[in-house]
Amino acid sequence: MKKRRFNYPLNRLVTVMLLSLLVFGACKSKKKVVEAAPEPEPVEEPAPEPKEEKPAEPTAEEVAVGKLEGYFNSIANANNTQSANNTIREALGLFSNQNTPVLIVIHEESGIKDYDEPTTIEKYLHYLKDTKKNLNFVSDIRMDGSGKVTELELRRR
pLDDT of residue 12: 74
Can you tell me the distance from the alpha carbon of 17 to that of 100, in angstroms, rounded to the nearest whole number? 99
**What amino acid is encoded at 115 in this protein?**
Y
The string of pLDDT tens digits covering residues 71-84 is 999 999 999 999 99
pLDDT of residue 11: 74
**What amino acid is encoded at 97 in this protein?**
N
Nearest alpha-carbon partner for 152 in 130, 119, 126: 119
pLDDT of residue 54: 65
- The alpha-helical segments, DSSP class H, found in 8-148 are 9-36, 60-76, 81-92, 121-131
Assign 122 a pLDDT band (cuts: 50, 70, 90): very high
CB half-sphere exposure, 111, CA atoms < 13 A: 0
Residue 22 has pLDDT above 90, yes or no: no
Q: Which long-range CB contacts under 8 A does 72-78 form with residues at least 24 apart?
A: 72/125, 72/128, 72/134, 72/136, 73/134, 75/125, 75/128, 75/129, 75/134, 76/128, 76/129, 76/131, 76/132, 76/133, 76/134, 77/132, 77/134, 78/129, 78/132
The string of pLDDT tens digits covering residues 36-54 is 556 666 667 676 666 666 6
Assign 14 a pLDDT band (cuts: 50, 70, 90): confident
Residue 134 has pLDDT above 60, yes or no: yes
Can you tell me the distance from the alpha carbon of 78 to that of 80, in angstroms, rounded to the nearest whole number? 6
Beta bridge partners of 101: 120
Of 38-47, 87-96, 131-140, the one with minimum mean pLDDT is: 38-47
Question: How many helices and strands (H and E) does the chain possess?
Answer: 4, 5
Of residues 24 and 58, the one with the higher pLDDT is 58
Contact call for residues 155 and 104 (beta carbons, < 8 A): yes
